[in-house]
Amino acid sequence: MSGLTRKYVKKVLERMRDKRVVVIGDFMLDRYIWGEVSRISPEAPVVVVEANEDAQRPGGAGNVVLNLTSLGASCDAIGLIGDDENGRNLVQLLEQHGANTEGMIVANDRPTTVKTRVIAGNQQLLRVDREKKGEAAVNVQGQLVERVRGAIESADAVILQDYNKGLLTASLIRETIAVASEYDVPVMVDPKSNHFFEYQHATLFKPNLREAENALGVELHKTAEVEQACRELKDRLQAEAVLITRGSQGMMLLDGDNNPVHVEPKPRRISDVSGAGDTVISTITLAMISGLDGAKAVRLATHAAEYVVGRVGVVPITPEDLLNQVEG
């Protein structure tokens, strides 16, 4: 991938340490139960996992925060948690990674979203979700707007990370983009199906292939079709740039000058795609606000994604990981 030498990427990583990013979205607590498959259960035709390790990590928008702070940036987290132990654990974990959690609001009408994954060896066997979806209460939405306004003024970028849990309402999306525009702060969007076309005038809009297909009502197989989809989304959203991630087929960026950039990843064994999109939006955001053009930023984000899909579970990228990936 031309232009991304170790020396060059080291300088970019140094610039990332001066950046501050506000992450607004659906925060979750990821739980992991690691173990080994010992036998088939006599009670039902399912495997028995003998657990030997438990772990908790920030998930969803929290994983975006982890990627940003792991790469050296400062980060403000704005989202909802329940009035429960899981929420308190999530905030504590975010703070341990250096995030400012003053924007995390306790909502009394919902529990903290928790995703529990059971993993044996390098294989995820099961995921159990505990959550309540839906828009937050009106008074909570008002608090979110206040937190957003207070955080954006001194930010270098904003990431809107949507997982369809209800935090990102149409009004909050519009308010956030409007406030960011006042302060000339770029807004990067990782959307889901709800409110897909509400993100008008985003700086970067990053759906994955399936999300783009569903929103446009088409199937996208060929690279030329994906490029055309980028152009349609860019036009309908009045976005500065659109990036469609395509899994093993790489990424397609349509930049601010309407130039297409298609980057394919190196062939490698994929262990787990969980969290790869979080890593991409985090890396490309920091790359772009650190001075990289669209082509180089996408290539750097591709390197980051190559690393995380080779790991089991949701893991953030570190500067060392990224440098090693560039070298490799």
Residue positions annotated with a catalytic role: 278
Residues 303 and 4: beta-carbon distance below 8 Å: yes
The tokens for 54 are 């438990």
Strand-pair partners of 245 = 208, 251
What distance separates the 2 farthest-apart alpha carbons in the chain? 63
The tokens for 173 are 């999306």
Rounded Cα distance, 301 and 9, in Å: 12
Rounded Cα distance, 74 and 131, in Å: 28
Distances (CA, A) of 151 to 145, 172, 180, 200: 10, 14, 10, 21
Rounded Cα distance, 302 and 206, in Å: 13
- If one counts every other C-beta atom within 10 angstroms of the C-beta of residue 320, the result is 10
Residue carrying structure tokens 């197989």: 221
Residue carrying structure tokens 């607004």: 24
Count each helix (H run) and each strand (E run) in the chain, helices first. Answer: 10, 13
Rounded Cα distance, 138 and 317, in Å: 36
For residue 63, which amino acid is it?
Answer: N
Residue closest to 286 by CA, chosen among 152, 155, 192, 196: 155
Q: Show the DSSP H helices in the chain as ranges.
A: 6-16, 61-70, 85-96, 138-152, 170-182, 209-216, 223-237, 276-289, 294-308, 319-327
